[in-house]
Amino acid sequence: MHGDSHSATEIPAKGAPRGADSQARYDAFMSRSAPEDDARLRLDAFEATIRPITADDRPLLHELTVGVFWPHRAHDLDLFLSLGAGYIALDEIGRPVGSTMYFPMGGDFAMFGMMVTTPRLQSHGAGRRLLRRIMRDCAGRDLRLSATRSGYRLYHSAGFEPVGTIWQQQGVARPIHLPEPVPGLGLRALEPGDLGALRALDAHAYGADRGKVLDAVLDLSTGVVVTRGDEVCGYALMRPFGKGMVIGPVVAGDDATAMQLVAPLIRECEGRFTRLDTPLQGEHFKAFLSAAGMGTYDTVTEMRIGPSRRSETGALLYGLAAHSMG
């Protein structure tokens, strides 16, 4: 239930305070909690049991993602399981019928992801029960998620507000001409000594301290940075994901710098399936990605409880690590 946008949604101004309507929806949603949420729920003609997700549940999560045509492979699910917590719902013979996870970032923020319900049960309340479980676990934190069209109404009913659109740019990477260098900026491979600068840039652009996530992604990635003098002022990472490669996170100050960062990574992926998920669709950046064979495949709606957090000046988030982790 997480992957496509609700394009007709009216997006409020970033940083707008949480309104009375949003608070009322949140309170109404959470007030429906019941002891049954924690144990069993009747779905169709059978009951399902909700329990915490463990690392051993990777095959069950894979079964769920295949059922909704997500591209996740074993290594992708292992990354999520190592960084997050959540719940899985199983029917009476152990088949998975739903899952949900949250990824804490610092002490006051969490990203929701891996929210999947088998299509035949999406109207039976499993997603609602699972969502309430992680919302209770994350009480007091600001929250963010990426909503598909099928999940949008549920999240809106729970008090989430739309923030903007995430564009899923993907395709088989084509040969490209490298963009003109940005005056005053240097481009080089990522080095171990850059970690501190990357953490600071990422925390500013993302709006929360996701150092643990960044460390885990760095272990799986290659990357590049741009520098102004001795200062690192942008970065881009690339790693295997799904049926090919994903470029992200990407943090840059403008379209030209973002193109400078991702161009050599796209070149490395020529002939391979490549994906970049971006909340920013400047005309030049979008045209550059499309020319590289990475056209817009789909969209999701980013939603939040609490302030928007993501930066609007300075270093900006041009590419997500993953929909489930922002």
**Minimum mean pLDDT range among 32-46, 103-117, 265-279:** 32-46
Q: Domain check: are 200 and 183 in the same one?
A: yes
Residue 122 lies in a domain: yes
3-state secondary structure of 90: strand
CA 180, 286, 258, 221 torsion-angle sign: negative
Boundaries of domain holding 134: 20-163
Predicted pLDDT of residue 304: 97
284 in the same domain as 199: yes
Residue 3 confidence (pLDDT): 41
**pLDDT tens-place string over residues 65-96:** 998 889 999 999 999 999 999 999 998 889 99
Residue pair 261/224 in contact by the 8 Å Cβ criterion:
yes
Burial of 87 from C-beta contacts in 10 A (0-12 / 13-18 / 19+): buried
Domain boundary among 163, 198, 217: 163
Which pair of tokens denotes residue 10?
């009216």
Q: What is the mean pLDDT of the chain?
A: 90
275 is a domain residue: yes
118 and 188 in a single domain? The answer is no
Residues 178 and 149 in one domain: no
My answer on whether 159 and 176 are in the same domain is no
- 159 burial type by CB count under 10 A (0-12 exposed, 13-18 middle, 19+ buried): buried
Q: Which of 163, 179, 208 is the last residue of a domain?
A: 163
**Statement to judge: residues 24 and 90 lie in one domain:** yes
Q: Would 14 be classed as within a structural domain? A: no
How many structural domains compose the chain?
2
144 with 242, same domain? no
Query: Same structural domain for residues 172 and 151?
Result: no
Average pLDDT rounded to a whole number, residues 181-207: 96
Residue 269 in domain: yes
Of 1-5, 28-32, 197-201, 209-213, the poorest mean pLDDT is in 1-5
Is the same domain home to 57 and 71?
yes
Confidence of residue 7 (pLDDT cuts 50, 70, 90): very low
Tell me, what CATH number does 278's domain have?
3.40.630.90
Predicted model pTM: 0.86
Q: Read off the amino acid at residue 65.
A: T
Q: Is the dihedral of CA 153, 159, 165, 167 positive or negative?
A: negative
Quick check: 32 pLDDT over 90? no
B/e letters for 143-153, b = 16+ CB within 10 Å, e = fewer, are bbbbbbbbbbe
